[in-house]
Structure 1
Amino acid sequence: MKFWKIFLWSWKGLHRILLIVAIVMSLFIVLFTLYNNHFSPPSSCARQSPPPVSPTVPTTCSPHWDLLFLKTHKTGSSTLLNILLRYSERHGLTFAFPSGGRHDFYYPSFFSPTFVSGYSPSSCFNVLANHMRFDAGEVERIPPRERLYFTILRFPSHLFESSFRYYGPIIPLTWSLPGPDKMATFLHQPWAFYRPGAFNAHYLRNLQFFDLGFDKDMDPSHPALPGILRSIEERFSLVMLMEYFDESLVLLKDVLCWELEDILYLPHNSREQESVAPLVPKMEELALLWNHLDYLLYRHFNHTFWAKVETFGRLRMAQELARLRWANAKLVEACVEGGRAVRGGLVREASLRPWQPVGGDGTIIGYNLKHGLEGPQRQLCQDILTPELQYMSRMGANLWRVKVWAAVRGILRW
């Protein structure tokens, strides 16, 4: 009798699991049918003819339209993506979106042109800017082959803290970490928990070096490293730094020959400040030791960054910074209700509500649009406040997989 009770209890439990799986799969099929509308991008890139003449930009300078932005993780890159989406939409540029209903180019796989929605050997895209694991040879197969490359880095200990908090719930290696401070436990004995080939392990070590297409577990004393750093410097016209975001934008504006209005911004995919716990000195030291390749990468491009600032001119940089910060302050005043960001759950309009990570407690900030805006001003404000997923959808990206995942998370309250 006891055996039958156990059997029936086990069967009922299995029945419940199967029922949940059936419901989720049914939802997946329904949403796939609703959202999987094929997106066929234009087959040719936008071209300037003749180059636009501007009173504030020298006539010898023509805006760059063919771009690759390597969107690194947890570096302020979502803010830059908003800038690129706005610029592309305003100028009619062809934006390469990921295929398969994804928001990234099948990351963490190495990039392939087949990951681009609508790709064919004869197609052409002005801008590539979604998350990818960089592969120079594969990127160069996307016409036009002459494009300007840029990316952004962040100080490695700060990036590690952000990545660990943001991605931790989807990294199985972290699930068994004991103690109230999982990150501290990990950093004190990383090799007790870390497995190089484990699922999502790339988020735990030298993430920027990995995004650039290199081995995150390479020995930092490897003789190939100086050549790797030189190859990145030669390929990328600008490597920005998150810690000097405004200075980076001023340099980017100069490199791309853009206008001040093109680089105005509000931070996207950022945590509210109260949820950020600064690393104590010991944890910072351990994080830098564990992410030493990223540290060497950052140190190299910190040097090249300030060399570019010197070439640009310190006085000129100060003047440009003042203009940018004044314009951004006026933007917040004109567009944002209350003049400040709010928790994502407090954003009223779904079209402006930011994506929240699994287990993130809703700490990613968003913005409420100021009441009473009309016409072009409302459109400008809406564009600057719109998170990347909604903006991509608006421009034609088919994000059915993201929408299915969002629906499943809503059902599971995850």
Structure 2
Amino acid sequence: MLWNKGFKCTAVVRRLIPWVLMTNIMLVLYCLKTTNHVNIRPTQEETCPLSMAKTNHAILSESSKPKQKCSPKVNIMFMKTHKTASSTILNILFRFGEKHKLKFALPDRRNDFCYPQPFLRFQVKDYKPGQCFNIVCNHMRFNHQEVAKLLPPDAVYVTILRDPVDLFESAFHYYHRAVPLTWGISGKNKLTEFLNNPEAFYSPEAFNSFYLKNLLFFDFGFNNNLGVNDPRIMEAIHSLSQRFHLVLIAEYFEESLILLKDLLCWSMEDILYFKLNARRTSSVNHLDPEMRVKALQWNWADWKLYEHFNATFWQKVEAYGRERMEQDVKELRRRNAEMRAICVDGGDAVEAQKIKDTCFRPWQPVGEKSIMGYNLRKDIDPKWKTICGKMLTPEIQYLSDMGVNLWVTRLWGWLKDSIF
């Protein structure tokens, strides 16, 4: 058994285990079914670059091109990491892609690409060997060789990181009920109990344990259990620095968007946003300095990853120009405030139970309703209704609107909400 020897299930937990395991076994079997029936031996003929003679800059209509020297980039790989404000970036990409009729590589029957399995291109909805896409952006465990076969050679690779201590706190809150080893943690502050003795509630082979250690490293396809001095940590970071053109930083979200706009040659209108999938403040466990140190040590690989790309981020800000950045951030905030006044009833996010329209109700973690969302203004000007609605739409509902049949995700949601 993967549970600790001293762990005793309560009657409630014993009833939950079969449901949780059954659902996850179903997800694994589904992913195996969708990948095993296809010959996955890579051939040159199956790759996007050889199937596509030219890039897709012409997809944008002349009227939509900004009056500037560069051409808007439309071939994009966004590596969507967990608990990093990536849902907000996803919404920006969805809106841009829809507006310009770009081709998305979408998941099939669920909202991710069979995570936590490494990504395979055959996990893409209706994929056929040799197909080319403009945008890949849903949750996956990164596998560059497979992703590259979906995109033209000029594709821009972007991702986002977050301070690993804050990310760990957020991930623990969101996922710990899905990690059976943590069910035996006693006390009101389970996170503190975990950090005081993490090895007692963690095993690398345990079910869903990857959520609780170096989650960023895991998302990028690396071993999340490497020791502090393991040279493979820096090797992995170097590898990512060769793959990604821009790494955004969640703590500097607006500056990140300005750099993204500049890299992609987009307009300010293209990066307007409302913060999606955010937790209510009262649910955040603010760690004291001692616990932060323990969380950092526990997530050392993620810390080194963040440390490296935080430094490169500010190098890019310097190259962009500090004064220019400040002006652009100020303009972005002004434009966002205008959209908030136009779109959002009450002007701000509300708790889940206060969201009136289910179209705008975000997915909630197991056993809680801590993720906030928005209500669309009732008296909204008709000319703004469509864009406002899209800006407020959470990931699951947006994917449904884009034609993805999410029966696996919805089944798990129904089980989760029924049991907990």
TM-score per shorter chain, which class? 0.7 to 0.9
Q: Is the 8 A contact 1:46 1:93 kept in 2?
A: no
Question: C-alpha separation between the residues in 1 aligned to 2:231 and 2:249?
Answer: 26
How far residue 109 of structure 1 moved from its aligned partner, in angstroms, is: 0.6
- 1:81 is matched with which residue? 90
Q: Is the 8 A contact 1:46 1:126 kept in 2?
A: no
- 1:98 is matched with which residue? 107
- 1:367 is matched with which residue? 374
Q: How does 1:44-193 map to 2 (within 5 A)?
A: 47-49=56-58, 57=66, 59-99=68-108, 101-193=109-201
- 2:238 is matched with which residue? 230
- 1:385 is matched with which residue? 392
Q: 2:324 matched to 1:312? A: no
Q: Is the 8 A contact 1:46 1:92 kept in 2?
A: no
Q: Secondary structure at the match of 1:89?
A: helix
Question: C-alpha separation between the residues in 2 aligned to 1:173 and 1:59?
Answer: 55
- The structure 1 segments of at least 4 consecutive aligned residues displaced by more than 4 Å after TM superposition are 43-46, 50-58
Question: C-alpha separation between the residues in 1 aligned to 2:362 and 2:60?
Answer: 36
Relative to 1, partners in 2 of residues 1:301 and 1:79: Cα closer, same or farther, differing over 3 Å?
Answer: same
How far residue 51 of structure 1 moved from its aligned partner, in angstroms, is: 6.1
Question: C-alpha separation between the residues in 2 aligned to 1:191 and 1:407?
Answer: 33
Count of matched residue pairs: 377
- 1:406 is matched with which residue? 413
How far residue 345 of structure 1 moved from its aligned partner, in angstroms, is: 1.6
Question: C-alpha separation between the residues in 1 aligned to 2:134 and 2:371?
Answer: 30
Amino acid at match of 1:378: K
How far residue 52 of structure 1 moved from its aligned partner, in angstroms, is: 5.5
How far residue 47 of structure 1 moved from its aligned partner, in angstroms, is: 2.9
How far residue 409 of structure 1 moved from its aligned partner, in angstroms, is: 3.8
- 2:365 is matched with which residue? 357
**Aligned-residue identity in percent:** 46
How far residue 74 of structure 1 moved from its aligned partner, in angstroms, is: 0.3
Relative to 1, partners in 2 of residues 1:281 and 1:197: Cα closer, same or farther, differing over 3 Å?
Answer: same
Question: C-alpha separation between the residues in 2 aligned to 1:223 and 1:282?
Answer: 27
Q: State the structure with more CA Rg.
A: 1
Q: Secondary structure at the match of 1:168?
A: helix
Q: Is the 8 A contact 1:46 1:94 kept in 2?
A: no
Q: Secondary structure at the match of 1:366?
A: coil
Please, what TM-score do these two structures have when normalized by structure 2? 0.85
Q: Which runs of 5+ in 2 are unaligned?
A: 1-14, 27-50
Question: C-alpha separation between the residues in 1 aligned to 2:353 and 2:319?
Answer: 44
Please, what TM-score do these two structures have when normalized by structure 1? 0.86
Match of 1:202 among 195, 203, 210: 210
Relative to 1, partners in 2 of residues 1:72 and 1:321: Cα closer, same or farther, differing over 3 Å?
Answer: same
Relative to 1, partners in 2 of residues 1:144 and 1:371: Cα closer, same or farther, differing over 3 Å?
Answer: same
Q: 2:257 matched to 1:249? A: yes
Q: Which stretch of the first structure deviates more once superposed, 187-196 or 308-317? A: 187-196
Relative to 1, partners in 2 of residues 1:145 and 1:116: Cα closer, same or farther, differing over 3 Å?
Answer: farther
Q: Which runs of 5+ in 1 are unaligned?
A: 1-16, 29-42
Question: C-alpha separation between the residues in 2 aligned to 1:408 and 1:367?
Answer: 25
- 1:344 is matched with which residue? 352
Relative to 1, partners in 2 of residues 1:54 and 1:278: Cα closer, same or farther, differing over 3 Å?
Answer: farther
Q: Secondary structure at the match of 1:175?
A: helix
RMSD of Structure 2 on Structure 1 (CA): 2.4
Q: Secondary structure at the match of 2:157?
A: strand
How far residue 145 of structure 1 moved from its aligned partner, in angstroms, is: 4.0
Question: C-alpha separation between the residues in 2 aligned to 1:78 and 1:196?
Answer: 27
